[in-house]
């Protein structure tokens, strides 16, 4: 049902006159009468009793009038909700990220929540390799990945520059070395992340190039689990520097430079190139670029 005939009916019921309603609506009287007739026909009910000197509403007409007031209030609420959304004071923000890249979002989300406390924020855990397709399919508006997407339907902006770092426990034999060669690591047990990534591939390739065995005897699904095992001296690992900064500062882990491995890591915020962002997503994107 269209709302316009209901508005016409509401005006006629309020003015108790077709002619006065037509003047208020800037319409002709025949046009107003036709709108009422069509509404009555659609509802299959007589809404106005025209037999007396003054227009009277039928019982059905009174019910319809009550609903027109409700529709009017809903329309006002809708306008207010959309206005809030445009002002970024309401709505929902959904960002896709994997376990480690989520950490790069924390300070941005903290600031975003200060600016837009009514926006509901959801960071959806996703495999980094699947985030580009999820954005293209419309399942996500924004995503965080650590490589440059190859699809020209996506834009990506570098928001953080990090690097892989080699870490071990304070009691490990290499803890005081400061710097080692990749050849010194051939006998070590590596705690590896079992998610395939460009950086894992790069490390594997470098060990192969140097003809050094890479013993990944333990593989774990999360960075947190890897950190804990390394801290317990169960093995060593290559991890994003950002993820272990606090552990290194607290002395829980030791960072050692590997001469042959200097792997920079770019964290990128990915957006659709051919689809406009929602107001909430656009505000987050702008905030991240500013910071």
Q: Strands 92-97, 56-57: parallel, antiparallel or unpaired by DSSP? A: unpaired
What is the pLDDT, as a whole number, of residue 252? 97
**Do 151 and 192 belong to one domain?**
no
**Do 142 and 271 belong to one domain?**
yes
What is the pLDDT, as a whole number, of residue 88? 66
| Mean pLDDT, range 58-75, rounded to an integer | 87
8 Å CB contact between 11 and 21: yes
Q: How far apart are CA 215 and CA 274, in angstroms?
A: 45
Domain boundary (31, 59, 86) is at 86
Return all residues near 61 (Cβ < 8 A) that are at least 6 apart.
9, 13, 45, 46, 47, 48, 49
Answer whether residue 191 shows pLDDT above 60.
yes
What is the pLDDT, as a whole number, of residue 79? 78
Q: How confident is the model at residue 80 (pLDDT cuts 50, 70, 90)?
A: low
Q: What is the CA radius of gyration of the chain?
A: 32
Average pLDDT, the chain: 90
Model confidence pLDDT, tens digit, residues 91-107: 788 999 998 899 999 99
Answer whether residue 90 shows pLDDT above 90.
no
Shortest CA distance to 44 belongs to which of 31, 32, 60, 56?
Answer: 60
What is the pLDDT, as a whole number, of residue 104? 92
Return all residues near 276 (Cβ < 8 A) that are at least 6 apart.
none
**Which one has a higher pLDDT value, 197 or 228?**
228
What is the pLDDT, as a whole number, of residue 84? 67
Place of tokens 């316009």: 4
**Do 165 and 253 belong to one domain?**
yes
Answer whether residue 137 shows pLDDT above 70.
yes
**Do 130 and 184 belong to one domain?**
no
**Do 138 and 182 belong to one domain?**
no
What is the pLDDT, as a whole number, of residue 200? 87
Domain boundary (86, 105, 133) is at 86
Shortest CA distance to 191 belongs to which of 168, 175, 174?
Answer: 168
**Do 100 and 57 belong to one domain?**
no
Model confidence pLDDT, tens digit, residues 200-245: 889 999 999 999 999 999 999 899 999 999 999 999 999 999 999 9
Shortest CA distance to 39 belongs to which of 54, 58, 53, 24?
Answer: 58
Model confidence pLDDT, tens digit, residues 143-178: 999 999 999 999 999 999 999 999 999 999 999 999
Q: What's 239's domain CATH number?
A: 3.40.190.290
**Do 272 and 252 belong to one domain?**
no
What is the pLDDT, as a whole number, of residue 151? 93
**Do 196 and 283 belong to one domain?**
no
Task: Note down the domain range covering 175.
Answer: 161-265
SS3 for the chain is CCHHHHHHHHHHHHHCCHHHHHHHHCCCHHHHHHHHHHHHHHHCCCCEECCCCCCEECHHHHHHHHHHHHHHHHHHHHHHHHHHHHCCCCCEEEEEECCCHHHHHHHHHHHHHHHCCCCEEEEEECCCCCHHHHHHCCCCCEEEECCCCCCCCEEEEEEEEEEEEEEECCCCCCCCCCEECHHHHCCCEEEEECCCCHHHHHHHHHHHHCCCCCEEEEEECCHHHHHHHHHCCCCEEEEEHHHHHHHHHHCCCEEEEECCCCCEEEEEEEEECCCCCCHHHHHHHHHHHHC
**Do 80 and 217 belong to one domain?**
no
**Do 246 and 123 belong to one domain?**
no
Q: What's 36's domain CATH number?
A: 1.10.10.10
How many domains does one find in the chain?
3
Q: What's 125's domain CATH number?
A: 3.40.190.10
What is the pLDDT, as a whole number, of residue 1? 53
Model confidence pLDDT, tens digit, residues 32-54: 999 999 999 998 999 998 887 78
**Do 144 and 167 belong to one domain?**
no
Q: How far apart are CA 241 and CA 165, in angstroms?
A: 6
**Do 180 and 259 belong to one domain?**
yes
């Amino acid at each position: 049902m269209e709302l316009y005939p209901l508005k016409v009916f509401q005006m006629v019921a309020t003015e108790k006159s077709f002619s006065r309603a037509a003047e208020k609506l800037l319409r002709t009287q025949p046009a107003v009468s036709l709108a009422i007739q069509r509404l009555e026909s659609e509802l299959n009910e007589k809404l106005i009793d025209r037999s007396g000197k003054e227009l009277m509403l039928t019982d059905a007409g009174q019910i319809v009038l009550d609903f027109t007031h409700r529709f009017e209030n809903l329309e006002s609420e809708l306008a207010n909700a959309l206005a809030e959304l445009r002002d970024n004071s309401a709505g929902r923000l959904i960002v896709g990220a994997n376990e480690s890249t989520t950490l790069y979002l924390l300070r941005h989300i903290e600031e975003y929540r200060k600016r837009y406390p009514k926006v509901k924020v959801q960071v959806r855990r996703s495999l980094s390799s699947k985030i580009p397709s999820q954005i293209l399919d419309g399942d996500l508006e924004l995503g965080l990945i650590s490589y440059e997407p190859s699809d020209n339907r996506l834009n990506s902006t570098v928001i953080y520059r990090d690097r892989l770092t080699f870490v071990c426990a304070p009691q490990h034999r290499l803890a005081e070395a400061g710097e080692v060669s990749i050849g010194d690591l051939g006998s070590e047990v590596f705690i590896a992340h079992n998610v395939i990534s460009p950086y894992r591939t790069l490390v594997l390739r470098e060990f192969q190039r140097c003809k050094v065995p890479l013993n990944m005897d333990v593989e774990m699904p999360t960075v947190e689990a890897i950190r804990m095992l390394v801290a317990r001296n169960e093995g060593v690992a290559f991890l994003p520097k950002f993820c272990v900064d606090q552990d290194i500062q607290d002395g829980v882990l030791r960072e050692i430079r590997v001469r042959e491995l200097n792997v920079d890591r770019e964290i990128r915020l990915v957006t659709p190139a051919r689809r406009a962002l929602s107001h909430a997503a656009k505000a987050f994107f702008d905030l991240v670029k500013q910071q």
